[in-house]
Chain A
Amino acid sequence: MSREDSLVTTDWAEQNLSTPGIVFVEVDEDTTAYDAGHIPGAVRINWKTELQDPVRRDFVDRAGFEKLLSAKGISNDDTVVLYGGNNNWFAAYAYWYFKLYGHQDVKLIDGGRKKWELDGRVLSREVPDRVETTYTAQDQDFAIRALRDEVVAAIGTQNLVDVRSPDEFSGKLFAPAHLPQEAAQRAGHIPTALNVPWSKAANEDGTFKSDAELAELYGNLDDEKDTIAYCRIGERSSHTWFVLTEILGKKNVKNYDGSWTEYGSLVGVPVELGA
């Protein structure tokens, strides 16, 4: 994979709003952002109510994902172009999630909703009416998803990348600072993890940094080893997974979606504090 295969510019997006076979999908942390205006023709996916199982802490299953995409009017051969607010955190999460269920052609708008808005491009409140499809998903690809036992086994042996802010890594904060600091689990990080905040991979306008800057940023990763990225709930680490896998073309990179909210609540696992 490379930047050309997986990223599009806001210019490209605007020029392709009506291109058949391209579906724009907005995924936001603030799931109401879409209502106030979105890229014309874009459909919304709610990461909380539509991508998560309502009872167990896990994703919707394969049949559930098929039902969701069919209802959204997305076909297997469509190019899905994702974007969202908060520097594409949840759009990158959705990108990874689409790949997890085997969708072939997925792209991310570089800079996401922020870049689109800073560019002064038009937003629409009109909700598109797409014809329902019959979508077929694949089984989850566990080559890109890490579960907890694998993470514990990776301590001291594989690359662990903690992409949260330095204050979350050190244990000073429990959560990103736009959320109340009321998490119940322990603070800190997984021993031997490197702290490479996701934000170092992005410019101020939300676009990704250049290939050369990104290669340097992750220069400390041992390419002979597998890599697992994590954050608090797996969305910022999807952003880093995207950089490592889709832009830099690294192999064997997994996203640990359980992330700190799971690891920091496990009984008996090692936790490290401090920078």
Chain B
Amino acid sequence: MSCAAPDQTAGIPVGVDVSSQAVVQGKVCKNNEPVGGAFVRLLDGSGEFTAEVVTSPAGDFRFYAAPGSWTVRALSRVGNGQASGDVTLGLNQLDITVG
């Protein structure tokens, strides 16, 4: 399970219309290996907490946001890290490297 090629479509729940959602998803990695059980929080444009999830064993996380500027920040036993980006409707990939 390398971090080189994230799966863009992993497990979107049945019934969720991705085209109407601003999905922010990504993978948490360290040294190109996925980090499961990391705590990932979504911060809005002003840095305010919006939501938090725990990564899957494959290091994956997902949020349903709104179009705009967002930051994802990961806390884990092997280190912390973050990534930011402008999000539009549909799938948006924001991967995080921790260390």
Contacts and interface: CB of A to CB of B under 8 A. Distances in A.
B75 A118 contact: yes
A87 B52 contact: yes
Nearest to B22: A181
Interface string B37-57: 101011010101111111000
Interface in B5-43: 13, 16, 21, 24, 37, 39, 41-42
B63 A177 contact: yes
Interface residues of B, number: 25
A167 B66 contact: yes
Contacts of A199: 48-49
Contacts of B48: 165-166, 197, 199
Contact of A177 (B39, B42, B54): B42
> Considering residues B24, B37, B42, B51, which has the most beta carbons from chain A within 10 angstroms of its beta carbon?
B51
A268 interface: no
Given A165-B44, A166-B46, A177 B77 contact: no
Interface in B53-86: 53-54, 62-66, 75-77
A264 interface: no
A167 B64 contact: no
Interface string B83-96: 00000000000000
A246 interface: no
Contact of A204 (B46, B51, B75): B75
Q: Which 7 pairs from chain A and chain B are nearest by CB?
A: A199-B49, A177-B51, A178-B51, A177-B63, A165-B50, A176-B51, A177-B50
Interface in A155-212: 165-167, 172-173, 175-182, 197, 199, 204-205
Nearest to A119: B77
A114 B21 CA distance: 28
Contacts of B77: 117-118, 120
Interface residues of A, number: 24
A136 interface: no
A197 B76 CA distance: 24
Given A120-B77, A180-B21, A172 B66 contact: yes
A153 to B, nearest CB: 30
B46 to A, nearest CB: 7
11 contacts: A85-B54, A86-B52, A87-B52, A173-B50, A177-B63, A177-B65, A179-B64, A180-B16, A180-B64, A181-B66, A199-B48
